[in-house]
A and B are shown apart, each in its own frame.
Chain A
Amino acid sequence: MDQKDKASRDLAIKARDLAKPFGSYLALNGIDLDIQRGECVTIFGPNGAGKTTLIKVLATIMNPSAGTVWIDGINLKDNIEEVRRRIGIVTHQTFLYNNLTTYENLDFYCRMFGVPNRKERLLEVIETVGMTSRLHDRVGTLSRGMQQRVSFARSQLHKPPIMLLDEPETGLDQDSISMLWKMLKGSTEDRRTIVLTTHNLEQGLEFADRILIMDQGKIVYEGLRQSLDLPGLKKAYKSSTGALP
């Protein structure tokens, strides 16, 4: 094994020269990314900066037009199914079927991820998000906040070592946002690798070990949590993107 391969294996996420165009616009423009195991990285940036595209590429939902991604040392092109097993994703879309109950949705995803002892695991996960009482209700009858909690439970079923979260708080009220951040903090205590995109500077900063700011498909700022406070982050955001945070 050469040094380069070994370095890739030691990282939870490694990306080199990622590019993704949409028409003439480059949503990702030569992104390089190294994320250590157990690290929490928050990505900020204005709308259209490329945050969601980056998450979709890392989650294998979207193929980059150029560049390479390694997840847990596995090249996406070599074993994409193994990579998918190691990723849990939460976005503002819940990926839940409205006509199925909470139980049926989670059972479906357990089957898709080949989770052993399905029922046991499902009940364990649903309890952590406080939704046991709505287990047999159709997802379509749940509030947006409740659906997002079930979606968080869905992402945890297969115990992924890497969590990708793309603006998970979008469309939630304050109570639901607080609940969501609480659940995310629970995930950080498990020492999982977490990549989060958000517009909430305060929460995102509190949550992170490292901050990235993206603009026009590029990472334009990188800093460690210890070296930043909220005013400092706001200043960095404005100077690197030209936009108001």
Chain B
Amino acid sequence: MNFWHTVAAITWKDTISEMRTKEIVSSVLVFTLLVIVIFNFSFGATQQTMKVVAPGILWVTFAFAGVLSLNRLFVPEKEQDCLEGLMVCPVSREAIYTGKMLGSLIFMLVVEVIALPIFTLLFNLPVLSLQIVTITVLATFGFVVVGTLFSAVAINTKAREMVLPILFFPIISPVIISAVKATEISLAGGSWSSLVPWLPMIAAFDAIFFVVSFLIFSYVIEE
């Protein structure tokens, strides 16, 4: 079967299921909005202070929201005993990885599309710029690329809620740091060229970890 047909089937299945239950998007969205509101009141200070702390707040929020979302990624397969059903299908494990990863990317982007305007409103900062949208898409891709792999690792452990963040955050920290730095420069009115050290770093991380995760997923998921 064509690789992309399999990917589309898995992404479609996850998206339909999520549209029915709204388990991931609703819980992650509520969490994201709560964190943004709490930080907004905690740092309720001048515009200058906001400009300094906002990038950190934004990416800490998205990183924790990402973990929340990724923790649920393989739960339907595990809880409904469907993982073995997927395993007996004559499809490559790489296609299963890519399908699950794209599904997760969609859920995360939906949450971010709602959260970013609210962030703009509460913090009175121009985070809806093309630069920040680009940073957000690239960093989110990095989150889900690594997170999908570790979510598959964590799903077979007893304490998966703890295992995923412990594995995920050390690996993903270059993306979080780069995204914070790039957002800081963007909010300070920096040009595209001033983002050069950080954006290519996120893109390189995305590419390297996509290839690595893609290649080792079959070893992780099989038994």
Contacts and interface: CB of A to CB of B under 8 A. Distances in A.
Contacts of B223: 61-63
Nearest to B9: A111
B88 A61 contact: yes
A89 B88 CA distance: 8
B91 A81 contact: yes
A98 B23 CA distance: 14
Contacts of B80: 96-98
A61 B16 contact: no
A114 B1 contact: yes
B87 A61 contact: yes
Contacts of A109: 85, 89
A63 B93 CA distance: 15
A60 interface: yes
Contact of A111 (B5, B16, B21, B84): B5
Contacts of B91: 81, 112
A74 B76 CA distance: 32
A98 B20 CA distance: 11
B53 interface: no
A16 interface: no
A25 interface: no
Counting chain A CB atoms within 10 Å of each CB, the highest count among B85, B86, B223 belongs to B85
Interface residues of B, number: 27
Contacts of B8: 111
B129 interface: no
A221 interface: no
Given A81-B91, A85-B90, A97-B13, A113 B1 contact: yes
B9 A112 contact: yes
Interface residues of A, number: 30
Contact of A114 (B13, B82, B85, B90): B90
B5 to A, nearest CB: 7
Contacts of A94: 81
Given A87-B88, A89-B88, A104-B16, A96 B82 contact: yes
Nearest to B92: A81
A59 interface: yes
Interface string A93-113: 111111110001000110111
A93 B12 CA distance: 23
26 contacts: A56-B84, A60-B87, A61-B84, A61-B223, A62-B223, A81-B90, A81-B91, A82-B90, A91-B84, A93-B81, A93-B85, A94-B81, A95-B84, A95-B85, A95-B88, A99-B17, A108-B9, A109-B85, A109-B89, A111-B8, A112-B6, A112-B9, A112-B90, A112-B91, A113-B89, A138-B20
